[in-house]
Each structure stands twice: as C-alpha cells, then as structure tokens.
Structure 1
Amino acid sequence: MARLNQIIAVEKGAKGRAQREIADVLRTLQKPALLSGISRVYRPKDDEGETLPPESTKVQVRSEDALRDVAKSLTRLFDVVATKDWANRDARADVVVDGRTILAQVPVTYLLFLEKQLAELHSFVDKLPVLDSAESWTYDESQDVWRTDPVETSRTKKVPRAHVLYEATEKHPAQVEAFTEDVIVGTWTKVAFSGALPARRVNELRDRVDRLQSAVKYAREEANATEVDDRQAGDAIFGYLFA
C-alpha cells in the first residue's frame, strides 16, 4: 500500500508522460498518408494489350487504434490522481450522465482535474480525422478500414495515324498528314481506403465528452468545497467515452 506523498510524487511524471503520448498520437493522425490506402488493378482492353502490375498501399494508422492508445495513456494518469484525491476527500458527489452513475462519491479536487482533462479531450476529438464526405464509404471487415466503391478510369495510348489530304496522281505524289490519336487500351479500377472516422462517430464522441463535462461541472457544484487505497477510475471513464 502506497503513501499519499508517494502518489503525489509520481503524479507529475504520469501527467507529463500522458501528454507526450497524446501529442505523439495527434501528430500521427495529422499525416493523411498514414491513414490512407489504395488498390489499383489494371485490365488491358484485349489479350494483346500491355499488362501492368497492380498498385496498392495499406492503411498504416487507424483512428480507433489511436483512441485505444489515448485511453491507455490517460488511464494510468487518471488512476494516480484518483488515488491522491480519494485520500483527501471531504466534499464529494456522483458523476451522473442520463441517469447512469459513471463515478460515485467523487472528491471535489478530482472533479476539478476531470474538468481540465475533458476540455483537452474535447479538443482531441475535434481534431480526429473524418472520412471525406465526397466519397461513399463502407466498412471493410477483412482489412479493418473504410473503403470506397471501385471506380474505373480508362487508360489511353497515343497511336500514330495518317490522313490523306490529296490522292496521288500521275504528276503529283499523294499528300499525307501524320497525327496521333488517343486510343483506349485498358481500364484502371481504383479503390480508396482510409483509417479515418465517419462524421457520425466523431459527433457521437463529441456528444459523450460534452455530456460528461456537464455532469462533472454539476457534480462539482453539488460537492462542498496516510496511507491510500489504489483507485481505478480510468477504465470506467474510457469505457464510457470511447465505447
């Protein structure tokens, strides 16, 4: 069993580590290339047409994985602060969202901490990448990413042609004009992939953060303003937020 001063000593380090890890996640999510994938398959127009190898890139980063990483990073911090605050709790109140008690008998100091963290989480959710609304996306269970419907585009090749301006006569040779013509020789089939989130998912997450923020503020208003038992609050919080 730890002492309160030991918990206070490790709190600053846990907070700094969580902030660095979240910053790393956000930097990764701001790189569209890591969230995007593509598959292109070429089909020649006929058996004599040129064959080209398929092209593909895989989605390297998935936003749902980022949410889990953030939850993991913050859970330790939330637990450390919960252990400290519960040890000195005097004023406390329940955090209730839509009749559901998320956390019971929360000290006012921890409610203040939650308000700050939820404000930062709100900012994080606002920065989550959203699927391009100009595309029609479906979820690909086999690859655990979103994908678009296949789109076919033609591949053309310039073919030399000749046009006879004047036919040959006994006195004059034929006059011929050379030109090139774009001829369809095959078809590209393109499918785009993405590790971003649907807008409805981001809106749902934002709504959950908003509701929890309101509940925490209400609980703080309701609350009055050593050895410790370890507390686990992070799993309960992120079990609700990112469910």
Structure 2
Amino acid sequence: MKLNQIIAIEKGTKSRSLQELTESHHNLQKTTLLAGISRTYRPKDEEGEQFPPESTRVQLRAEEVIRTTSEMLTKLFDVVATKDWANCQAKADVIIDGKILLAQVPATYLLFLEKQLVDVYTFIKKLPVLDASELWTFDPSADCWATEPVQTVKTKKIPRNHVKAEATEKHPAQVDVYYEDVVVGNWRTIKFSGSLPAKRVNELLNRVEKLQEAVKFAREEANNQDVTELKVGAAVFNYLFS
C-alpha cells in the first residue's frame, strides 16, 4: 500500500469512527435497551384466573458494545499509526530547473509549503505596478523610480487695453479691457514612485508558480512511497478492555 492511499482513506475512517462511537455512546444512555424482564403468573388455586407470561428481552449488552467499539476504533488507530509512522520516513527533494532547492523535505512540511505558497502568490499578485504610460528609470539618489523631467510653462493673466474709439472733444475714448496670458516662468516636474515594474512582478509570479509546481511534485513523490501497515490499536484496546 502507498502512503497516498492511506491518506485517502484516513478521513473516511475518522468520520465513520466518530459516527459509530457517538451512536454507541447514545445507545448506552438508553436504559430501556439494557433492561429485560420475565414474569409468569400462578393463581393460588386451580380455579383462579390465568394470565399469560410477560417478557422483555435485553436488546443491548454493554460488553458487546465495548467489543464492536473496540474493533471500530482499532481500525482507526491502525490507519492513523500507519500514516504517521510513514510520514516520519516520507521525504522528497524540491527540484527547480534540475537543481535541488530543498533536500529531503518531510511530506508534512511539503504540505505546509504548498498551502503557504498560495498566500505568497496572492501577496505578489497584488504588488503595485508602475504606470505603463510613463517612462521610468531607477534613481539611486531617491532610491525609487523616477520619470524624465518634464518642463511646463507658468502663465499669468495680464490686463491690456484696447482702444475702440479715440477721444474727441465731445466723447471720451472707448476702451475695452482684456487679459493676455503671459509666460512668467517654467515648471520642471519629475514624478517618483515606489511601485515595481510589471516585468519584475511577472518574474516573481513565475518564480512562485515554479516553486508551487516543484513542491506539489515533491509531495506526490513523498506520498507515493510504500508503507508498512501497522497494528497498534489491538494492543491499546486489549489493555483497556481485557
């Protein structure tokens, strides 16, 4: 038998054992199932009224429940022991690109790794990415990414007069006021960001995916080893109920 086969049947065995143990426990609380009676009637004289005998059979015997419960739990104890003893020996290498990243990792730790890497993948997937509409270069002095400087002008509205009609002896000059945008300076803008280039995030995602695959393969290999079926339950329950 393989370790993965033992793992596959362990859950079902535990579930059935718990169900049967609970049922046995509840049945033993029903005192009517444990009780029996036998009654016969004999009149004082031959002319007296006759009554048929009455009897109730014992439907449940505690020793029988102990025996069946022990048998059921013995199987569970044996399955779990076989798995746990085998897990002490079940190991495999985590290999990436033909190189051993982790050597002889226990199957239980491989299972832990497999679950944790799901959270690591989610963490990497949500890393902030640089705005693709900008051109970024790394600025060592600022220790982050920066855009090329962009220069924009600063303007100010200056009022101007437009003479529509010159003044005469009878009428004042007709003047319209308008505003003209006049350049008064220049803005030099550099954007900074602590986000990551999309290429970097994709590289990290690729790495974690490769590691997830390698861990899964290693776990399958570790769990594919042959196991020796152990019989430890009998010793436990022979001691308890003999």
TM over 0.5: yes
Please name the residue that 2:176 is paired with. Answer: 177
Q: What amino acid is aligned across from residue 154 of structure 1 in structure 2?
A: V
- Say which SS state the counterpart of residue 130 (structure 1) adopts: coil
Please name the residue that 1:130 is paired with. Answer: 129
Q: Which runs of 4+ in 1 moved over 3 A?
A: none
- Say which SS state the counterpart of residue 132 (structure 1) adopts: coil
User: What CA RMSD, in Å, does the superposition of the two structures yield over aligned residues?
Assistant: 1.5
The CA distance in 2 between the partners of 1:190 and 1:198, in whole Å, is 21
- Say which SS state the counterpart of residue 190 (structure 2) adopts: strand
Larger radius of gyration: 2
Show the 5 A alignment for 1:11-160.
89-160=88-159
Change (3 A) 1:89 1:143: farther
Q: What amino acid is aligned across from residue 205 of structure 1 in structure 2?
A: L
Q: What amino acid is aligned across from residue 210 of structure 2 in structure 1?
A: R
Please name the residue that 2:161 is paired with. Answer: 162
CA offset digits 1:105-137 (Å, max 9, x no partner): 011100100011100000000010111101000
The CA distance in 2 between the partners of 1:112 and 1:161, in whole Å, is 79
The CA distance in 1 between the partners of 2:109 and 2:88, in whole Å, is 9
The CA distance in 1 between the partners of 2:122 and 2:99, in whole Å, is 25
CA offset digits 1:186-219 (Å, max 9, x no partner): 0000001111110000000000000000000000
CA offset digits 1:61-96 (Å, max 9, x no partner): xxxxxxxxxxxxxxxxxxxxxxxx9xx632010000
Higher RCO, 1 vs 2 (CA within 8 Å, ≥6 residues apart): 1
Please name the residue that 1:39 is paired with. Answer: none
1:195 and 2:194 correspond: yes
The CA distance in 2 between the partners of 1:100 and 1:142, in whole Å, is 38
Percent of residue pairs bearing the same amino acid type: 63
The CA distance in 2 between the partners of 1:189 and 1:89, in whole Å, is 66
Shift of 1:138: 0.3
The CA distance in 2 between the partners of 1:169 and 1:207, in whole Å, is 85
Please name the residue that 2:27 is paired with. Answer: none
The CA distance in 2 between the partners of 1:176 and 1:192, in whole Å, is 46
Q: What amino acid is aligned across from residue 184 of structure 2 in structure 1?
A: V
Q: So what's the TM-score if we normalise by structure 2?
A: 0.56
Please name the residue that 2:8 is paired with. Answer: none
- Structure 1 unaligned spans of 5+: 1-84, 226-243
The CA distance in 2 between the partners of 1:148 and 1:106, in whole Å, is 46
Q: State the aligned residue count.
A: 139
The CA distance in 2 between the partners of 1:89 and 1:192, in whole Å, is 56
Shift of 1:143: 2.0
- Structure 2 unaligned spans of 5+: 1-83, 225-242
The CA distance in 2 between the partners of 1:224 and 1:204, in whole Å, is 30
Please name the residue that 2:203 is paired with. Answer: 204
Shift of 1:100: 1.4
Q: So what's the TM-score if we normalise by structure 1?
A: 0.55
The CA distance in 2 between the partners of 1:136 and 1:89, in whole Å, is 54
- Say which SS state the counterpart of residue 157 (structure 1) adopts: strand
Shift of 1:154: 1.1
The CA distance in 2 between the partners of 1:164 and 1:120, in whole Å, is 74
